[in-house]
Chains A and B, each alone.
Chain A
Amino acid sequence: MNCRSAENLLSSFLEDELSQRERRALESHLTECRRCSTAVEEMRATVDLLSALPAFETSPSFEEEVMDRIRSGEALRPTVIEWLSEWFSPVRLRPVFLAGAAGCAVWIALIVGHPFQAKKADLAQHAAPVAGSPALAQGSAAVPTAPGAQAPSPAPVNDVIASATRSASPSVGSNRSATLDASSSSAGVPDSARANPAAPYQDEYILDQFYLNRSEDGVHSIVPVTGRASDDVYIVF
């Protein structure tokens, strides 16, 4: 230990607040260093002088002056700083903060929810004419609704195909099923075809494998490769 390190420990040494290791190191240094051992005694004497400083006495009227000021109501009038700290104290501000946080949460919910609401309204607007068009109404009648598909009553044809495709997908392949599950789980996200009703089939990706079933009467249909009767998915030309 050097003198500078020892100097930093003098107060703690006097007040017996050093760890055993520090104390041993300091004591070892003090036996070798006369300057530091003198400094310990000087500091001890300084502390004695400080604690022996005489106390100031208040004026004889101190107590009565304080009591008079209290009786006059002066003590009950808070200062500007006290008034401000009272009004802006954490206890008072807590409900304000909570209300503010709740307001922010509502505002964020509105902001985040708004695009979806707008898109839903947009889709509803687009869905009405599509469902009402004669060509698609015919298609809709030709394509049976897949079991479990929650198609709304005036559902466009591509909705029915998409839902039927989803219902058929799990038995086909893990890659596809992952894709379709992901799309079916995100209920709020519209299909690309639904977003563009003017070109209903251009943007729709059907990943299931189908085969073309040619019949003798010239009516061909596309059937899923699973070939299960329950799939009931047909695209009629």
Chain B
Amino acid sequence: MPIESLRLKKLDPLAELSDEDVMERCAEGSEAGFRTLVQRYRSRILNLVCRFINDRDRAEEIAQEVFLRVFRNRERYRKSGKFSTWIFTIAVNLTKNEIRSRVRHRGTYSLDAMEEESGGQGLPFPDWKPLPDQDLNAREIQQKVAEALRKIPPRYREAVVLRDVEGLSYEEVGEILRIPGGTVRSRINRARLMLKERLKPYLKLEDV
């Protein structure tokens, strides 16, 4: 075994544990365990919330709240369930609360209005490093994808984000959104059809 990996293993004994095992340590009071979970999931949770509410700053606050809730409810976690499903459920619920709260304050839920909040430019692009010319086109396409995603109805967006952006299984998506498997498949299919129509000019097709 290379010396580097031995050193890493010695430094972080939790690195090779599954999320569920780390969460168990966390429930027993391990701060290191909790920190490991934050490191593993912070980006995924932020992404999920960002894709839902289109507000980068607020998404970071919600992501923090997700981890606080994980910590607060650590003793309620049952190892029989997947940790990822549990934490994504918390994130989705908090995000839905946020959307409801915005609806209450605005009187209506408008994606365009939410876009206005972010300055009409959509979300700031995640990667701010300068890109070579050939990547500029890729960046533009990704912005179009993010924009198309924001414009489909929330119930389709949340299903397709969990499946295609976060890479969760249909069963996990159904569990998180509390909808049956058939509805999950139907929503994801519908969301993809809508996105396909919006992204048609940017799709690179293989020979048909």
Contacts and interface: CB of A to CB of B under 8 A. Distances in A.
Which range contains the number of A residues in contact with the other chain? 35 or more
Given A56-B50, A58-B63, A63-B39, A41 B68 contact: no
Interface class of chain B by DSSP:
helix
Nearest to B66: A66
A57 B126 contact: yes
B52 interface: no
Which range contains the number of B residues in contact with the other chain? 35 or more
Contact of B208 (A34, A43, A49, A63): A34
B206 A11 contact: no
A37 to B, nearest CB: 6
Interface of A: 7-12, 17, 34, 37-39, 41-43, 45-47, 49-59, 62-63, 65-67, 69-70, 74-76, 78, 82
A62 B60 contact: yes
Interface of B: 31, 34-35, 38-39, 42-44, 46-47, 50, 56, 59-60, 63-64, 67-69, 71-72, 123, 125-127, 141-142, 145-146, 149, 160, 164-165, 167, 185-186, 188-189, 192-193, 195-196, 199-200, 202-206, 208
A7 B194 CA distance: 12
Contacts of B141: 49
Nearest to A62: B42
A46 B192 CA distance: 7
A58 to B, nearest CB: 5
A72 to B, nearest CB: 11
A67 B46 CA distance: 17
A51 B161 CA distance: 9
A176 to B, nearest CB: 63
Contacts of A58: 42-43, 46, 60, 63
Contacts of B205: 38, 41-42, 45
B46 A11 contact: no
Contacts of A59: 60
